[in-house]
Amino acid sequence: MKFVPVPITGGPTDKQRVLFSIWETRVQDYEAFVKETKREWPKPQFEQGPTHPAVNVTWEEAQLFCQWLTTRDRAAGKLGANEHYRLPSDHEWSCAVELGTREDPAMLPLTKSAKINDVFPWGTQWPPPKGAGNYAGEEMQPDRDAGKFPAVKGVIAGYNDGFVTTSPVGSFAANRFGLYDMGGNVAQWCEDWGDKDRTRVLRGESWGGDVRGRLLSSHRERVPSGRYNSFGFRCVLSAVAAPAQSSAAATKDAPFVNTLGMKFVPVPITGGPTDGKRVLFSVWETRVQDYEAFVKETRRAWPKPDFEQGATHPAVNLNEEDAAAFCVWLTERERKAGQLGTDKSYRLPGDHEWSCAAGIGDREDAAKPPKEKSGRISTHYPWGAQWPPPPDAGNYSGEEFRDDPQSGKGGRIMLEGYNDGFAHSSPVGRFAVNPHGLYDLGGNAWEWCADSQEGCLVRGASCVDGKERVMLSSWRITPPPATRQPNYGFRCVLAPAAQ
């Protein structure tokens, strides 16, 4: 497999070095993975050679291939500890087809689909010129007449690429970055969610593509993960900042990573009981996979919400006692593993610490009770000062909820004109990070906090909230500590242990 650099402008990997595989992952590459891991791989109903793109691969299997290849190349000394293979993001893909500077990386992928309606992988003309790529040309007509490939609805008149189904990678001209088949041959999985939490994004169209709009470089396909004979994938190679070796060395760009894979970054605290002390915030809300490890070991009861969640969604339906017990368990676990000294412990953030993390700590009096401060700063939201929220501001109650089966239950307020793509919880880290490197300080799940005066409270609003005042960074709710709600979760901090 060969990799070349692609300049990335905007998005989470802005200006970082990202190398794209020049080809789609080939049959011979995927067969090596299948052989070593003994996975099943149903082949398509048509014949393929070793240099054809691997198809009938799910999004999850593509991810597993990337993980396997990373482990294999690290063991061979070809990769450093901070380098890894993965799927490209939707925005990185756009950069690879020279649309990166013309699209907003903060917008959901599907809201950008086919919006740039005059650029194809080969240029701007339609129909495609000879040799543009492997699409549904007139070479397919005899098979279509025989009843084969019913999903292919037509052919491109006057175009013939010579391949009825897949073709060997590199059969057509490379783009200016040296990448082949960025249009045609197979549609390719990207890392991103589409606009709902059960669908994924594909780019590039396939050997069955014949419709002008679907062949645009900006076109996105949204499908549930599954096996399709026209879907494959391409890897990218990138580096991540090496994690800090200890919590004392953690920075925003090099977080401390604990044994559960939770990441922690420092947040400056001004005022309150921990004024000037080093407090590390989890960059995410505690995830389902984190809390499940706790539940499995302690056998603690956990009533799940009535909607489906993935492993990286925030753990919800938790009360303050559940959250505090997790922090105690995690502290003991990390100390036993030698990852944490007796001078530090995990706990819930204090109310004032949470305000510092949200960027309003210096505008509130740390000595005042939280209730007196709730909603007082009326010009600060997690995304800025404007109302209504801009696109992709966070996971709140938008118009995406209208089509949900639960939309008829209760009086949930929906933000008119806002759609974040998630009717319920979303994977942590899906939306933009704040200046401290923290995700979802607004939306997704309310977060339990501790306070010496109130006892406990929740901050940050959630996926079911759409009221202007509730979405303020300064808004608080003070429910009883035993309250469980399907939109209540928590975030840990790592701080000096109480003496």
160-170 confidence digits (pLDDT tens):
999 999 999 99
pLDDT for 198: 57
- Positive or negative: CA dihedral 425, 428, 432, 438: positive
Confidence of residue 498 (pLDDT cuts 50, 70, 90): confident
Percent of the chain whose predicted confidence (pLDDT) is above 70: 97
How does pLDDT run across 211-268, given as a tens digit for each residue? Answer: 999 999 999 998 877 899 999 999 999 987 677 778 889 999 889 999 999 999 999 9
Domain boundaries, the chain: 3-239, 247-496
pLDDT for 96: 98
Contact 190, 88 (CB under 8 A): yes
Mean pLDDT of 15-37: 96
pTM of this structure: 0.64
* Residue type at 14 in one-letter notation: D
pLDDT at 406 over 70: no
C-alpha closest to that of 310 among 199, 179, 447, 448: 199
Q: How far is CA 402 from the centre of its chain?
A: 23
Identify which has the larger pLDDT, 328 or 247: 328
Confidence of residue 26 (pLDDT cuts 50, 70, 90): very high
pLDDT for 245: 74
Mean pLDDT of 338-367: 96
Confidence of residue 11 (pLDDT cuts 50, 70, 90): confident
Least-confidence region, from 98-112, 195-209, 293-307, 464-478: 195-209
Instruction: Retrieve residue 306's tokens.
Output: 């009535």
pLDDT for 13: 86
pLDDT for 14: 86
Mean pLDDT of 463-468: 95
Contact 322, 489 (CB under 8 A): no
pLDDT for 196: 47
pLDDT for 409: 58
How does pLDDT run across 177-221, given as a tens digit for each residue? Answer: 999 999 999 999 999 876 545 578 999 999 999 999 999 999 999
Task: Tell me, letter by letter, the H, E, C secondary structure of the chain.
Answer: CCEEEECCCCCCCCCCCEEEECCCCEHHHHHHHHHHHCCCCCCCCCCCCCCCECCCCCHHHHHHHHHHHHHHHHHCCCCCCCEEEECCCHHHHHHHCCCHHHCCCCCCHHHHCCCCCCCECCECCCCCCCCCCCCCCHHHHHHHHCCCCCCCCCCCCCCCCCCCCCCCCCCCCCCCCCCCCCCCCCEEEEEEECCCCCCEEEECCCCCCCCHHHHCCCCEEEECCCCCCCEECCCEEEECCCCECCHHHCCCCCCEECCCCCEEEEECCCCCCCCCCCEEEECCCCEHHHHHHHHHHHCCCCCCCCCCCCCCCECCCCCHHHHHHHHHHHHHHHHHCCCCCCCEEEECCEHHHHHHHCCCHHHCCCCCCHHHHCCCCCCCECCECCCCCCCCCCCCCCHHHHHCHHHHCCCCCCCCCCCCCCCCCCCCCCCCCCCCCCCCCCCCCEEEEEECCCEEEEECCCCCCCCCCCCCCCCEECCCCCCCCCCEEECCEEEECCC
Confidence of residue 490 (pLDDT cuts 50, 70, 90): very high
Please tell me the CATH superfamily of domain 3-239, with its number.
Answer: paralog of FGE (formylglycine-generating enzyme) (3.90.1580.10)
Rounded CA gap, 33 and 226, in Å?
Answer: 18
**Do the strands 488-490 and 446-451 form a parallel or antiparallel pair, or are they unpaired?**
parallel
Mean pLDDT of 105-118: 89
pLDDT for 482: 97
Confidence of residue 305 (pLDDT cuts 50, 70, 90): very high
Rounded CA gap, 151 and 225, in Å?
Answer: 18
Instruction: Give the mean pLDDT of the chain.
Output: 93
pLDDT at 70 over 80: yes
Torsion, Cα of 370, 375, 378, 383 (10° steps): 80
The 10 Å Cβ neighbour count of residue 219 is 24
pLDDT at 411 over 70: no
As assigned by CATH, the class of the 247-496 domain is alpha beta
